[in-house]
Amino acid sequence: MDINGAACSIELFLGRAALSDENGNLRPVRWSSWNKAASRYQGELENKNAATAQFLIAMKSGATPPQLRRKFKDMDGLLKAIFAGFN
């Protein structure tokens, strides 16, 4: 299925370590419910609670904000784009 142009959840910006399972494999996105307004199925990151937990552990590691920005480049870019909308 062509997913170009589709939205994605913020969990996909948590970094590769958080998006990987205990074996180092990326967690799959599973198709879930039909979104009638968009005429598309929605996907959901499998075991997103574990991904979120891994991200939060990394965030509480004691790293400085610049170190976290370098470590989580995708999340940094997303947040910059969101906050740029308020300028």
pLDDT at 4: 66
The answer as to whether 19 is a domain residue is yes
The answer as to whether 4 is a domain residue is no
Residue 74's alpha-carbon distances to 4, 10, 40, 68, 79, in angstroms, are 18, 10, 25, 11, 9
CA nearest to 16, candidates 72, 62, 78: 72
CB 18 within 8 A of CB 52: yes
pLDDT at 42: 83
What is the domain count for the chain? Answer: 1
The answer as to whether 30 is a domain residue is yes
The answer as to whether 1 is a domain residue is no
With 80 as the cut, is the pLDDT of residue 86 above it? yes
pLDDT per residue as tens digits for the range 5-59? 677 889 999 999 999 999 999 999 888 888 888 788 888 899 999 999 999 999 9
- Domain span at residue 38 reads 10-84
Residue with tokens 């590691």: 61
